[in-house]
């Protein structure tokens, strides 16, 4: 059975690239097995068809060296942490058995789906470990859940250095032509295909990096407090 080290969930097919693309590329380069699961196909986006978005998502996963990319087919713009959706996500966790899970943060995002995704993952990570629930697969609970940031104005608990893979993150974002490509007559102008959006991502990554003394960083928020037994090893920071 394939078991993943790191599995990142997004509400839409470009969320993971925006908030954690560098983390995935960096860990894949270190030899960890990484994957992405999109909760919805992003069918309510102003631009791009579902087949187009699926092809873009596959291309981006290839750039980030993620061997797994799935779409769970939950409803875009109506994502909710209801029992059925939570069990579907929990079944995916049981199927891929990731050691570490990444999810959008669950509060304060302007897109309600991002908040719902965070809530959904918080529930699914716990419930996947309960053996008596009627969830497909064997009981399994990931070691850790961390939240990445989309349009949430928060400072992270932890910064991951993504400087050495930054071009891969940008290429993965470029793969989503239908979302971030220059809008012409065919495409509807949206906040995300305005050049300011990509500038915002780059500026934030540079800002998070600067907080830790590196060129680019992505930030994560802890779901549970980190447990440390060796304070010296933990303190061997740059
Ligand atoms: Zn999104």
Q: Does domain 6-234 have CATH number 3.40.50.10320?
A: yes
Q: Report H helices in the chain.
A: 15-29, 50-63, 83-96, 112-127, 166-175, 177-180, 195-211, 231-234
Distance 114 CA to ligand 1 centre (A): 6
Distance 14 CA to ligand 1 centre (A): 6
Distance 56 CA to ligand 1 centre (A): 15
Distance 76 CA to ligand 1 centre (A): 9
Distance 108 CA to ligand 1 centre (A): 13
- Can you tell me the distance from the alpha carbon of 67 to that of 231, in angstroms, rounded to the nearest whole number? 34
Write the burial class of residue 136 (CB in 10 Å: 0-12 exposed, 13-18 middle, 19+ buried): exposed
Distance 110 CA to ligand 1 centre (A): 10
| Tokens, residue 46 | 């102003």
> What is the model's pTM?
0.95
- Can you tell me the distance from the alpha carbon of 190 to that of 159, in angstroms, rounded to the nearest whole number? 29
Sheet of 34-40, strand order: 68-74, 34-40, 6-10, 100-104, 144-148, 217-222, 158-161
Distance 69 CA to ligand 1 centre (A): 16
pLDDT of residue 54: 96
For 217-229, b where at least 16 C-beta lie within 10 A, e where not — what string? bbbbbebeeeeee
pLDDT in tens, the chain (238 residues): 569 999 999 999 999 999 999 999 999 999 999 999 999 999 999 899 999 999 999 999 999 999 999 999 999 999 999 999 999 999 999 999 999 999 999 999 999 999 999 999 999 999 999 999 999 999 999 999 999 999 999 999 999 999 999 999 999 999 999 988 876 677 888 888 888 999 999 999 999 999 999 999 999 999 999 889 999 888 876 5
Distance 11 CA to ligand 1 centre (A): 5
pLDDT of residue 198: 93
Nearest Cα to 68, choosing from 125, 159, 131, 4? 4
pLDDT of residue 2: 67
Distance 219 CA to ligand 1 centre (A): 17
Distance 165 CA to ligand 1 centre (A): 22
**Domain locations along the chain:** 6-234
């Amino acid at each position: 059975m394939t078991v993943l080290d790191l599995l990142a969930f997004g509400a839409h097919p470009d969320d993971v690239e925006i908030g954690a693309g560098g983390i995935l590329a960096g860990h894949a380069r270190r030899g960890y097995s990484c994957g992405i699961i999109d909760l919805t196909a992003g069918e309510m986006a102003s631009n791009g068809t579902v087949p187009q978005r699926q092809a873009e998502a596959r291309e981006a996963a290839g750039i980030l060296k993620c061997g797994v990319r799935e779409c769970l087919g939950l409803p875009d713009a109506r994502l909710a942490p209801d029992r059925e959706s939570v069990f579907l996500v929990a079944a995916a966790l049981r199927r891929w058995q990731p050691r570490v899970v990444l999810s959008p943060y669950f509060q304060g995002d302007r897109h309600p789906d991002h908040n719902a995704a965070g809530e959904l993952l918080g529930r699914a990570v716990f419930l996947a470990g309960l053996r008596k629930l009627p969830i497909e697969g064997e009981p399994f609970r990931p070691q850790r859940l961390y939240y990445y940031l989309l349009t949430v104005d928060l400072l992270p608990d932890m910064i991951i250095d993504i400087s050495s893979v930054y071009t891969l993150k940008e290429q993965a974002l470029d793969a989503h032509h239908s979302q971030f490509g220059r809008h012409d007559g065919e495409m509807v102008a949206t906040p995300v295909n305005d050049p300011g959006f990509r500038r915002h991502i780059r500026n934030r990554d540079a800002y998070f990096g600067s907080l830790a003394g590196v060129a680019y960083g992505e930030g994560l928020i802890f779901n549970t407090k980190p447990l440390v037994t060796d304070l010296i090893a933990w303190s061997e920071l740059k």
